[in-house]
Amino acid sequence: MAAPARKPATYEDLLAVPEHLVGEIIRGTLVTSPRPASRHARASSRLGGSLDGPFDRGKGGPGGWVILDEPELHLHGDILVPDLAGWRRTRMPEIPDAAAFELAPDWVCEVLSPATAALDRAEKMPAYSREGVTHLWLVDPIAQTLEVFRLDRGLWTQVAAWRDDAVVRAEPFDAIELELAALWAR
């Protein structure tokens, strides 16, 4: 006897996820992950802080971006929560007064953890590609690496990878130098 077909997860299912978990809906399936541990949260906070001034506020850099922590993205049935996301102001001149965004970002950053790395790579990267996100960063605070990808004709191309205490210029934010050691600092 065949197993009964599962109904796709709904937004109500997502709202029922306990607060100590991050919930997402990917290809109709509710996926939960633990809230980020301290290394993960630190790397994400430091990276967002490094990009905010020069790119979101235009202080010491070119401006022209909206950078947000953990935005809820509603993208053709998927509900994704990247660690960081950025939209060029030419595409999103004003931040909508809404709990979620239907406009795909131009850049996303996923901070990898043992609990989320496979999901980020195998499930979320293809969804971001499908939606036309042009740049994706994977930050691994345990391995102390930054991988930078660019979307090229619907496929991710790895542009660069750095580790440890490298000082880098990583697209699309290559107007400034980023000190990776700051992301791993405790």
pLDDT of residue 7: 83
Q: What is the pLDDT of residues 161-171, one digit of tens each?
A: 999 999 999 99
pLDDT of residue 186: 82
Structure tokens at 119: 């999901």
Q: What is the pLDDT of residues 85-104, one digit of tens each?
A: 999 999 999 999 999 999 99
Distance, in Å, from the CA atom of 37 to the CA atom of 45, rounded to the nearest integer, reads 12
Q: Which domains does the chain have, with CATH numbers?
A: 37-70+82-184 (3.90.1570.10)
Residue 122 has pLDDT above 90, yes or no: yes
Cβ–Cβ < 8 Å for 144, 164: yes
| Mean pLDDT computed over every residue of the chain | 95
Q: What is the pLDDT of residues 54-78, one digit of tens each?
A: 999 999 999 999 999 999 999 999 9
Cβ–Cβ < 8 Å for 106, 87: yes
The per-residue DSSP string of the chain comes to: -PPPPPPPP-HHHHHTS-TTEEEEEETTEEEEEEPPPHHHHHHHHHHHHHHIIIIII-SSS---EEEEES-EEEETTEEE--SEEEEETTT-SS--SSSEE-SPPSEEEEE--TTTHHHIIIIIHHHHHHTT--EEEEEETTTTEEEEEEEETTEEEEEEEEETT-EE--TTSTTS-EEHHHHH--
